Amino acid sequence: LSPDCSFTCHYRCRALVRLDCSGPPGTGDEDDGTEQALEKDTNVDEPSEWEKTELDQAQVEQRIKEYNSQINSNLFMSLNKDGSYTGFIKVQLKLVRPVSVPATKRVPSLHAGRPGPRAQGVKRRTSFYLPKGTVKHLHILSHTRASEVIDALLRKFTVVDNPRKFALFERSEKDDQVYLRKLADEEQPLRLRLLAGPSEKVLSFVLKENETGEVNWDAFTLPELHNFLRILQREEEEHVRQLRHRYARCRQKMQEAL
């Protein structure tokens, strides 16, 4: 248990986890509460204004020129001979729950000099929270779908969780209001980036948990489900402990008053 970020992991997994927990709790998170209050989930099935726009080949070429003239980095878009185009998108990862990554660790035998079957490499999983504000740039094609972007991000961070647990959102700011819309699997993020321009306030991409209203328990593995049950049991025990402590304090105060 880290005293700064309250990160908790199994004692055998401590050597496998690398996190920068410098700074007191809450450092760098001041904007999270403000943005949380401003965020508004729009209709998932309602197409955005960018999605309604259709461009021909000449318009695509003109938009790419305008886009490249407005950026101050080398993250340009390029038009290909077949009419497609390539470019970069920036995705911010705002995950509340921990993610799972693979880990292979050699487990020593109980008896020295007697290598048993457990002395060989054993595939394990370790879970940890991605640092807040994690950002990743991806170089993609114009026809790359949102589902493929999610897969690419998970591969970049070697996350082995089911991709269905995550969703790609478009984020926009308008009239001091932050709007979020979940992209459909077939939508093309680079096309949206080209239509919206390079401004992050006009349009940005966020990877979040796929909140569907109901938890899709079939997407979890048996070890994950057992971990959830253990977490719920610990939370219940802690809640009961706090209630008993509160009632004991009240009983003590009343006895002192008597």
Decide: 51 and 187 in contact? Cβ < 8 Å. yes
Average pLDDT over residues 171-178: 87
Residue 141 has pLDDT above 50, yes or no: yes
pLDDT band at 175 (very low <50, low <70, confident <90, very high): confident
Is the C-alpha dihedral spanning 169, 59, 140, 92 positive or negative?
negative
End-to-end Cα spacing for the chain: 42
Three-state SS string across the chain, please? CCCCCCCCCCHHHHHHCCCCCCCCCCCCCHHHHHHHHHEEECCCCCCCCCCCCCCCHHHHHHHHHHHHHHCCCCCCCEECCCCCEEEEEEEEECCCCCEEEEEEEECCCCCCCCCCHHHCEEEEEEEECCCCCEEEEEEEECCCCHHHHHHHHHHHCCCCCCHHHEEEEEEEEECCEEEEEECCCCCCHHHHHHHHCCCCCCCEEEEEECCCCCCCHHHCCHHHHHHHHHHHHHHHHHHHHHHHHHHHHHHHHHHHHC
Say what the pLDDT of residue 109 is. Answer: 42
Say what the pLDDT of residue 39 is. Answer: 52
Residue with tokens 């991605």: 130
Average pLDDT over residues 225-254: 91
pTM for the model stands at 0.61
Amino acid residing at 144: T
CB atoms within 10 A of CB 3: 9
Which of 196, 60, 174, 35 is closest to 183 using CA atoms?
196
Decide: 47 and 188 in contact? Cβ < 8 Å. no
Average pLDDT over residues 116-138: 72
Task: Read off the pLDDT of residues 43-94 as tens digits, 9 standing for 90 and up.
Answer: 444 555 656 677 888 999 999 999 999 988 889 999 999 989 999 999 999 9
